[in-house]
Amino acid sequence: MLDFVKFSELLTKMNKPPRIAPTPSRVIYRENKLRVLHYKSKTKPKFQTPLVIVNSLINKYYILDLMPGKSFVSYLVEQGFQVYMVDWGVPDDADCEVTLEDHINRYLPNLVRKVSRHSGSEQVSLLGYCMGGTMALMYAALYPESVKNLILLATPVDFENDSLLSQWARPDYFDVDAFVDSHGNAPVEVLKSTFMMLKPTKNITKYTSLLENMDNEEFVQTFMAFDYWVNDAVPVAGETFRTFIKDCYQKNLLKKNRFKLGGQAVRLKNITSPVLNILAEHDDIVPPKSAEIALKLIGSSDKTELRVKGGHHGVSIGPKALGIVWPKTVAWLAERDASTPQGN
């Protein structure tokens, strides 16, 4: 039987904005809508190479710094890493002609140079999540000399798979040219509804789970923070969206080694840095078939795959993330970096 007093308390909590992005940071670089955050540490860094987190363009940056106790960023800082975050910002109508080439050949090289100067390191490690991982792959293939280590978290590479996203994006069903020509930027409402339709009943059953767990404060706080992040979506620059859908989803050029940016081929075999590829076995956004092929295409001799049971967001903020992904990522990075007792 529903406890109306507790239900009323739950509604009160849900009407208050959750405490998101709790790790202290400061902005060290801006370009157009983009910001780069540097996370503060109470102690001197233990490792020399800075870690730059590259996010997807579809959602806000703070999923990996979601809330206290569910922050991969905070965990990395506590382990002694210099952590930097790419916040792509919120595109507006003036950004509809910003291209994927702008992101890979302009924004990322510029911010990597800034992070290198700021940290005093000639190279950076990259951690890319979802679409951000695909972008980090492209950057690492074009600028391999600047990348010391590469971590891919639920990263799509082979876009010819049986996922609903891949099916819906097929040119038979989706005229991306007409879509972008009509809308300019890819609207938030369309992007949100697309991902909601992957699990349409989840939008109802999630509230059933919330009611069943309303006595569990951790569950409630995590639910509210994650739900806030899901609804805090952003549009994607039209020309960037056009290229990503046509050349990745519809033509699968990255896997075929025929993807080009500015006339230059993006060949994953040019990546020679150590690579950690983290897959979620029950990922409905980036199925294992899409992610696992990365290590076959990358040229590095130091390649590690980490398969984790769970879904797309479970490997970033779920129990498997806290118990497996976070500590194994830190151990992997620590083995491949030099300690810096003196700090910076």
SS3 sequence of the chain: CCCHHHHHHHHHHHCCCCCCCCCCEEEEEEECCEEEEEECCCCCCCECCCEEEECCCCCCHHHHECCCCCEHHHHHHHCCCCEEEEECCCCCHHHCCCCHHHHHHHHHHHHHHHHHHHHCCCCEEEEEECHHHHHHHHHHHHCHHHEEEEEEECCCCCCCCCCHHHHHCCCCCCCHHHHHHHHCCECHHHHHHHHHCCCCCHHHHHHHHHHHCCCCHHHHHHHHHHHHHHHCCCCECHHHHHHHHHHHHHCCCCCCCCCEECCEECCHHHCCCCEEEEEECCCCCCCHHHHHCHHHHCCCCCEEEEEECCCCCHHHHCHHHHHHHHHHHHHHHHHCCCECCCCC
As a whole number of angstroms, the distance between CA 171 and CA 35 comes to 34
> By C-alpha distance, which of 122, 150, 116 is closest to 136?
150
Mean pLDDT in residue range 116-125: 97
- C-alpha distances out from residue 247 to 114, 160, 176, 255, 266, Å: 30, 12, 11, 10, 12
Buried b (16+ CB within 10 A) or exposed e, 177-190: eebbeeebbbebee
Amino acid 5: pLDDT: 61
> By C-alpha distance, which of 250, 242, 258 is closest to 101?
242
* Residue 315 tokens, joined: 């490997």
Query: Does the pLDDT value for residue 2 go beyond 60?
Result: no
In this predicted model, what pLDDT tens digit does every residue of 248-304 receive, in sequence order?
999 999 999 999 998 899 999 999 999 999 999 999 999 999 999 999 999 999 999
- Assigned CATH class of 4-335: alpha beta
Amino acid 336: pLDDT: 94
Amino acid 343: pLDDT: 41
Specify the pTM: 0.92
Least reliable range by pLDDT among 45-49, 96-100, 131-135: 45-49
As a whole number of angstroms, the distance between CA 178 and CA 53 comes to 33
Query: Does the pLDDT value for residue 344 go beyond 50?
Result: no
- Known catalytic residues are 130, 283, 312
Q: Residues, the chain, total?
A: 344
In this predicted model, what pLDDT tens digit does every residue of 172-190 receive, in sequence order?
999 999 999 999 999 999 9
Phi, psi of 193 (to 5 degrees): -65, -35
Amino acid 11: pLDDT: 62
Domain boundaries of the chain, sorted by first residue: 4-335
AA letter at 157 = V
Edge to edge, the sheet with strand 303-308 lists: 25-31, 34-39, 83-87, 51-54, 124-129, 147-153, 275-280, 303-308
AA letter at 308 = V
Per-residue pLDDT band at 342 (split at 50, 70, 90): very low
> By C-alpha distance, which of 254, 225, 81 is closest to 158?
254
